[in-house]
Structure 1
């Protein structure tokens, strides 16, 4: 088990990389392996599947024989794990049978505290700019930290990740500060800067003093959550924007050359997951950097 950061002592034991063997998973694999090595963590490479009817008949009828589908996937998964370095020796391959949104969170809880790493193509047949349905379903069910690498994230050519600046984006309300310790912990661990971006919807500003009120409530909650020495160490820069979260965050990522976006997710937040066309999912799918989401309570 490793401690990430000194101020909060975030404990992580395992990195769980869920792959579907697609090109979208390759970038996520590099992030998962790098994080496992950097923080000296176990790396678990997993794939979820359901038996085809033919394979099911083979296994049910014989009772002992394993279907070709199962053995082929086991071999493919083992070969994938073999080429990914881990912080604790060899990477472990675990083939999971069942729905990804059920079995991946279950594995993460079994190996907790864990960081789940996902790759996504960011599109499907219905909505081209939304998060892939599998990654989205896992994020909805998993209440721990999850790192998602979308299709617009540049390929990592080096064996070592080069994080230079973190963006911690909030909706300006005290309830969103639960992700702050993770942003600070990663910044401390990598010795990098934090940008803090508050995005407030225009319809929330019903009188001239409202924005100031929202800011002060958030800063009070942040001061109680992030110790002063941590803020000084990370040299946070604070920005306030009024508008749509997706547009403001994506613009900030590009303009400030952000390497990691940290989002705290709540059911009723501006960044909530209750609506697939709004909130966190399109941001993750379109961001040019990896996104670390921290869920607060059941989604």
Structure 2
């Protein structure tokens, strides 16, 4: 089992070898490359109840899964290395969301990338979702790609098109941080940024132009944002419809990360967008604390 490097910030790619996870791999490699981050690939074996360590009986029961996982992890690491991205893997057993979050903290992850099956309804409420749990608790932004998203999982990372970014804002601190992350990515890709605010159908919200102006100023967007649009209606439905209409390649948004009954009653716009999006979604949770995604490139030789 390889241990991830601890010296520098990294991009954490969580994989379960499903179709959504396969689609997430080239995106993780592309993002690690443009952000100058190393890549840590983590897979979590579902351990039996009461698991505390790799005891002989536990090891025997998990060995077949462990062997298969090591082979798959090795393939992902080689794929990343072939595209000049330094990558390592870690294979652990336990509760997937707990291990992913713990590993993200240990490797000082600047970004978590993962696929999501996007369950809805009673199935989602009963079984839960690893991606949902990570989204609600991660200390860094989370980049998700839904099972229904287009594209082939074996696509060359450099051919992935993220050239149009739709930022959905409610002008909250988390939305402000989301816009700053979008602008940072847009400058590196490069990409155009579209800024969208969705108000309730009967809203009499005023001062929208000033709010847009303040958001752009705070994000230091320069001329990177090419459109600012106000729509009315259901937020998630309007965001998804506008993303389809504008052929957005990435949706970026903030979320308050509610938990418990309040979350179940009110729902989450971010989670609804993730379940319905045909492109990846980058979510920035709570508080609006902004920390650059990119790691500074090492200084060049002095002349």
Q: SS in structure 2 opposite 1:46?
A: strand
Summarize the alignment of residues 23-62 of structure 1 with structure 2, pairs less than 5 Å apart.
23-52=19-48, 59-60=54-55
The answer as to whether partners of 2:212 and 2:228 remain within 8 angstroms in 1 is no
Tell me if structure 1 keeps the 8 A contact 2:45–2:66.
no
Q: Which runs of 4+ in 1 moved over 6 A?
A: 55-58, 62-66, 128-132
- Gap change, CA 1:110 and 1:221, over 3 Å in 2: farther
Query: What does residue 117 of structure 2 align with?
Result: 121
Please point out which of 136, 139, 142 is paired with 2:138.
142
Using the size of structure 2 for normalisation, the TM-score is: 0.78
Question: Could you say which residue in structure 2 is the equivalent of 1:242?
Answer: 232
C-alpha distance 27-175 of structure 1, shift in aligned 2 (>3 A) = closer
Q: What residue in structure 2 maps to residue 165 of structure 1?
A: 164
Aligned to 1:201: 200
Please tell me whether the aligned partners of residues 251 and 282 of structure 2 are also in contact (alpha carbons under 8 angstroms).
Answer: yes
Aligned residue pairs: how many?
274
By how many angstroms is 1:184 displaced? 0.5
Distance change >3 Å, CA 200–CA 174, structure 1 → 2: farther
Q: Which segment is superposed worse, 107-116 or 141-150?
A: 107-116
**Distance across 2 between alignment mates of 1:164 and 1:51:** 40
- Using the TM superposition, give the Cα deviation of residue 21 of structure 1 relative to its aligned residue in structure 2, in angstroms: 1.1
Structure 1 residue 65, shift from structure 2 partner: 8.1
Calculate the TM-score normalised by the size of structure 1.
0.78
* TM-fit CA distance, 1:83: 3.6
CA RMSD of aligned residues (A): 3.4
Q: Which residue of 2 aligns with 1:7?
A: none
Deviation at 1:114, TM superposition (A): 2.0
| SS, match of residue 238 in structure 2 | helix
Structure 1 stretches lacking a partner, 5+ long: 1-11
